[in-house]
Amino acid sequence: MEKGLFNWAIITALVSALLFFVVGLFTSDDLIVLALVVILSLISIIVFSKKAEGSFTSGAFLAMVVFAVMTIVVDLRNWEGLGVALFIFTIVFLVGGFIGKWSSKDKEKLSNKIYFWVMIGAGILGVVMIVVGILTNVSYLAEPIAFTCESDESCGEGYTCVESVCLFSGVTTTVYDFEGGIGSWYGDTECTAEVGGDPCWHIEYEEDGNAVIEGWEHIWLFSTIQFSRIDSVEAKVMMRDGGFHLNFIDAEESRYFLSIENDGLLLHSQLGEEFDDYQSADYEFENDKWYDLRIEVGDTVTVYVNDEMVLSDILNQEYDKAIVTLETLEDSSVWLDDIVVEGELYITETEIDFS
């Protein structure tokens, strides 16, 4: 490789790394990142061709340098992450250079030391960034991601607006409309989907073709999405016979649920084998009629039916992670649709066994 092209590739890589990192602090829009790749590549290729004799090879090489830098830097969201990348980049550069010098039996001194000392400086800067990141408790490849914003709504699902920057909050809204099937729910029994057969939860269709989920007899349905905090659960409910439990917090050692029957509602909790009843409310649920149900969860649990508050009570909730479950009772049948769960997702750390 020509020395001029090599020097220019080093300059291009360093400038690209800095620009991708700065842009990444304000946006992660794929189109903006792609546009920056194209612009940096064009500028690098054109300027190099003005300074030296360019070619297809030099153009392709510089474009690949920019793209490679983008893939390394674009997901780094803090100084410690960039510092690690710069330090590793420097080590690879030096090791590769000296191995090349040794294998070619080149005993001459470096004729152009500018790029050598630039890379040494980049490595030192990387170490400084790592130390600063550790001392300021900034985690490597941190979850906060980067958009400019004016409100939570402008950030999108799972993000909150803090000082004009979108940060990942873990808070999400999960909607189940069952149009694509049962989705991320599973039952505790085989299902024949035939009345009189094995009791189960399954998809049914209204006359207009709208998909709903139906359960009958004493049977459970479990959501696979886990939450570390559940803020609210809402659903459209149609009683057809009997009653059911909406377990708005179902944890390993406890559950908190709303019992719904034709004549009213009752809040319950279960810790181990111990059940406690809380506030109840009279409410007439007519069969074969849709009702909008909403449960807001905090220190106080408040229940709304068709936007009317019908009961509220204090529940001392104790759980690390929980799901939402549905439970029809014996001699019962119920339809549900448009289940919406708001809360903070439970995020697990995955251990990889290389043995």
Tens digit of pLDDT for each residue in 316-327? 777 888 899 999
Q: How confident is the model at residue 167 (pLDDT cuts 50, 70, 90)?
A: low
> Of the candidates 167, 169, 168, 165, which has an alpha carbon nearest to the alpha carbon of residue 26?
165
Give the model confidence (pLDDT) of 43-82 as tens digits. 888 888 887 776 777 777 788 788 888 777 765 555 666 6
Residue-level pLDDT at 157: 57
- Global confidence as pTM: 0.52
Q: Which residues contact 325 (CB under 8 A, 6 or more apart)?
A: 220, 221, 222, 223, 247, 250, 255
> Of the candidates 337, 143, 339, which has an alpha carbon nearest to the alpha carbon of residue 225?
339
| Mean pLDDT value across residues 284-307 | 93
Q: Which domains does the chain have, with CATH numbers?
A: 3-165 (no CATH), 173-345 (2.60.120.560)
